């Protein structure tokens, strides 16, 4: 759930979220016109519905990531190299945390946004599908956030996969619940016109990224020591 904060407020995705949500909510003023033109079949969704749909889109993305990571984790477990893989992931956290600290973005999942754009509609199309759009937006938002936070999320999820099914389910559940709560909360705040809060959150994205990067580096160093020097750790905490 703590990781969900870093993922949600990713500088690669969050800065454009309030403006996008505001645009969708503003379309509510034109819903009668859109319905009359036959482009919209029902009323525009409320802010909490928009947030829930976007959150479910994020869930879909991370469920797919979890399935992939679980398969990789099982393969690693069968290889008998769990200890070495864990050490490798610990070192990877340090390296990728440093890369994230330097502001380098991977752009690994840009193709996801292309798929989202392909299946989304606008009010200029013959049929406008705001609910489907927000669900797809959640998928694209999760993919965009991963471009900044892959260094934290992917090693974490793959490591869960090496620990078994229950670890994957519980770990991803915490991440997904946190993301859903944050998406609904921020969307409702935008709907209520809490622009001061939104502006504050936008300004804080850089600090969140900075803190997250250092947390990853420290976690990687700590995990490396724990895995490679168990006697030292035992003597310190004995």
Let me know if residue 237 belongs to a domain.
no
pLDDT in tens, 100-156: 777 666 566 667 778 888 888 887 888 888 899 999 999 988 888 877 666 667 677
Give the per-residue pLDDT at 42.
Answer: 83
Let me know if residue 20 belongs to a domain.
yes
Contacts of 209 (CB under 8 A, 6+ apart): 6, 9, 10, 11, 100, 148
Let me know if residue 234 belongs to a domain.
no
Give the per-residue pLDDT at 55.
Answer: 92
Residues in the chain: 238
Let me know if residue 73 belongs to a domain.
yes
Q: Is the pTM of this model over 0.85?
A: no
Let me know if residue 190 belongs to a domain.
yes
pLDDT in tens, 17-73: 777 887 877 787 778 888 888 888 888 888 889 899 999 999 998 888 878 777 776
Give the per-residue pLDDT at 74.
Answer: 65
CB atoms within 10 A of CB 109: 16
Which is higher by pLDDT, 225 or 215?
225
Domain count, the chain: 1
Q: Among the residues of 102-163, which ranges form H helices? A: 110-119, 130-163
Burial of 91 (0-12, 13-18, 19+ CB in 10 A): middle
Grade residue 236 by pLDDT with cuts at 50, 70 and 90.
Answer: confident
**Which structural domain range is residue 220 located in?**
2-228
CA 130 to CA 198: how far, in whole Å? 22
Give the per-residue pLDDT at 229.
Answer: 84
pLDDT in tens, 168-207: 788 888 888 999 998 898 888 887 776 676 677 667 767 7
């Amino acid at each position: 759930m703590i990781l969900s904060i870093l993922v949600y407020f990713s500088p690669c995705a969050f800065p454009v979220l309030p403006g996008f949500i505001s645009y969708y909510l503003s379309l509510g003023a034109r819903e009668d016109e859109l319905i009359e033109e036959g482009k919209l079949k029902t009323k525009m969704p409320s802010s909490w519905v928009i947030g829930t749909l976007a959150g479910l889109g994020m869930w879909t993305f991370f469920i797919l990531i979890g399935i992939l990571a679980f398969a990789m984790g099982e393969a690693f477990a069968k290889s008998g190299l769990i200890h070495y893989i864990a050490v490798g992931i610990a070192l990877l956290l340090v390296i990728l945390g440093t890369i994230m600290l330097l502001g380098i973005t991977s752009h690994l999942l840009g193709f996801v946004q292309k798929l989202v754009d392909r299946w989304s509609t606008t009010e200029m199309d013959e049929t406008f599908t705001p609910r489907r759009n927000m669900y797809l937006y959640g998928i694209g938002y999760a993919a965009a956030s991963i471009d900044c936070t892959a260094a934290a999320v992917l090693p974490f999820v793959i490591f869960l996969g090496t620990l078994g099914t229950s670890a994957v389910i519980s770990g991803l559940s915490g991440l997904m619940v946190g993301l859903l709560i944050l998406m609904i909360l921020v969307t409702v705040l935008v709907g209520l016109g809490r622009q001061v809060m939104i502006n504050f959150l936008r300004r804080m994205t850089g600090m969140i990224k900075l803190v997250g990067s250092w947390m990853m580096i420290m976690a990687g160093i700590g995990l490396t020591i724990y895995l490679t020097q168990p006697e030292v750790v035992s003597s310190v905490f004995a």
